[in-house]
A and B are shown apart, each in its own frame.
Chain A
């Protein structure tokens, strides 16, 4: 966990004071709605369908038990006792009152949290691998670099009014769990021929209305040049990104219209001017690195296999949960625990105050006081001793947090949709409820294996539908809610956009169609080992299309 120093704390305190002053001037009429909008957005505050929505940053998805407890208390005191985990690993509150937001921000700052640049046309929260630091396939821990990017991008005087929002993701592992190819800038830790680590830099990816897979702009960037290279990209974008049409303002359109080779030339030309002045020295890296506390793992931990086996035999639900919701850890004797926020009857990613307090307690007791959020809208206890798994499961189960569905079809990504969002065309939460009813037989769900189902309530794509193995997109057709299905998308190493299955489907037919798609997969797969995604890649969408539109 990163611990603020005086500089970090001073900046967020002063930012709260600034926002308090802006809110005061808006409420007393000194600032117009048009003037206040960009100012409140760059501090995470939207005016939504029913109430303001406040998005709170969780930098690269890492948080402490103290912060989680604070969110629980804030959700009680300022909201309706729950919060929502977003696809940028942040937390959202759906019902705060505008006049009270400055006080809420004050409370957040007391636990080193803020809402800076969680929205608006500026550099957003940098996201990363939820298994950073504990994954077996990690080349280098990306979080130090995420924090360096957080600091560099926070209140950057030149880049607060970009053409459009700007998202950066960093992955430190072989397997890309940070969706780097669908970000404005994606950074992947790679090794060069001398065995040194640096970054492969991708640019121009993004979801939203025009989903695009990012392109490689530089195969290997030395770490010392990280900030100068980012600054060069941002400057070219700020100067030349389109501002005439908000739907064409993301960097992906600039890269596409300029061409990646010309764009690269522009960036490298600008980079030459600044690479000497903006060096990331070892001292700067160490200043940040030493403020990260690392878990003090017990070495030579003896796993009580016999007790584990007994628990598994006596509690089949524990056995199933351990198989599906825990993952191997780089340190022997430990497992990564996924806390599923995808239970029947709950909007995906929602968590109530009691659940927040429970996971905070579990983090303190069993996982070095740390928690993570994932871009697939779950939580992670990253460092749990195998000997403690049974106790953790028992307690998670009391609060509906042990649904054994990690990486299955009902571990879906979903935006708030028409139920909350003023942009949405269609409801997404009601569809997820129906899908849960369809997928209540867990043996069937496990047989289907790894399927990433992503749903967005409108083409802005907050639910990442275009990179779901199965994507569902809500559209408006003459005032009615319809849904467009895509198949075969992915946001990982093999990132690609899903193919459109056919015409949009009426609301009451969506779940039947998904059911048909899943059954078609079971018929079509070459073996039990062939995943849904591999099957779709092999057969194409035709067999799925024929079955869905057969009637």
Chain B
């Protein structure tokens, strides 16, 4: 399920790996493929998204931020915290589109993610909504 703006909402995006890019619909590609096929993506005239894995050099998309509607940060394992810095730096670069977390994170991390600029989350369907709301409102104050 997709959690965004404080509620469960419909996911419009399809995440492609090696599959052919369809004519219609919003799609994301892994970073390298997006860089290779960006002309084709732009030519579609549809919303365009990229996926960043923790070990990619995410600075390669710095000059393309205006052409991106969605940046997905991936959590292959919950303890890989590089993507927290990715998100922080993308926002500092001025990226105003959506940043979405997918993968093996736990709800407890969502509070910290929203503070570094992540604004949507793809989660397993069996997570109670109450847990999500609890974690996002866990701390009423912070030092940073």
A interface residues, Cβ below 8 angstroms from B = 7, 10-11, 14-15, 17-18, 21-22, 25, 30-31, 35, 38-39, 121, 151-152, 154-163, 235, 238-239, 243, 273
Contact = CB atoms under 8 A, between A and B. Distances in A.
Given A158-B112, A161-B79, 16 more contacts: A7-B141, A11-B139, A18-B108, A18-B135, A18-B139, A35-B78, A39-B108, A151-B143, A155-B139, A156-B144, A157-B112, A158-B81, A160-B84, A161-B84, A162-B81, A238-B84
A14 B85 contact: no
Interface of B: 54, 78-82, 84-85, 88, 92, 106, 108-109, 111-113, 115-116, 131, 134-135, 138-144
Contact of A158 (B54, B79, B88, B138): B88
Contacts, number: 82
B80 A161 contact: yes
A152 B143 contact: yes
Given A35-B106, A151-B143, A157 B115 contact: yes
Contacts of A11: 139, 141-143
A7 B141 CA distance: 7
Residue from A154, A159, A160, A161 with most neighbouring chain B CB atoms (10 Å): A161
Contacts of B112: 155, 157-158, 160
B140 A14 contact: yes
Q: Is the interface of A mostly helix, strand, loop or mixed?
A: helix
Given A10-B140, A18-B108, A238 B85 contact: yes
B59 to A, nearest CB: 10
A38 B79 CA distance: 7
B106 A14 contact: no
Contacts of B81: 121, 158-163, 238
B40 to A, nearest CB: 30
29 contacts: A10-B140, A10-B141, A15-B139, A18-B135, A18-B138, A18-B139, A21-B134, A39-B106, A121-B79, A152-B143, A155-B139, A155-B143, A155-B144, A156-B143, A156-B144, A157-B111, A157-B142, A158-B81, A158-B116, A161-B79, A162-B81, A163-B81, A235-B85, A238-B84, A238-B85, A239-B82, A243-B54, A243-B82, A273-B92
B139 A14 contact: yes
A118 to B, nearest CB: 17
B139 A152 contact: no
Nearest to B54: A243
Contact of B138 (A14, A31, A121, A151): A14
Nearest to B86: A239
B95 to A, nearest CB: 15
B15 to A, nearest CB: 23
A64 to B, nearest CB: 22
B19 to A, nearest CB: 29
Given A22-B108, A38-B78, A121-B79, A157 B84 contact: yes
Contacts of A25: 131
Contacts of B88: 158, 235
A539 B143 CA distance: 52
Contacts of B106: 31, 35, 39
Contacts of B111: 157
Contacts of B134: 21
A152 B140 CA distance: 16
B144 A157 contact: yes
Q: Which 8 A-B pairs have the closest CB atoms?
A: A161-B81, A157-B115, A157-B112, A151-B143, A158-B84, A238-B85, A14-B139, A35-B106
Nearest to B92: A273
Contacts of B92: 273
Contacts of A10: 140-141
Contacts of B115: 157
A238 B116 contact: no
A31 B78 CA distance: 12
A303 to B, nearest CB: 44
Nearest to A37: B79
Nearest to A234: B85
A7 B115 CA distance: 18
Contacts of B142: 11, 155, 157
Given A11-B141, A157-B116, A273-B92, A243 B84 contact: no
A53 B10 CA distance: 44
A21 B106 CA distance: 13
Nearest to A278: B144
A152 B144 contact: yes
A121 to B, nearest CB: 7
Nearest to A22: B108
A127 to B, nearest CB: 19
A26 to B, nearest CB: 11
B75 to A, nearest CB: 10
A152 to B, nearest CB: 6
A10 B143 CA distance: 11
Contacts of A21: 134
Nearest to A35: B106
Nearest to B144: A156
A22 B78 CA distance: 15
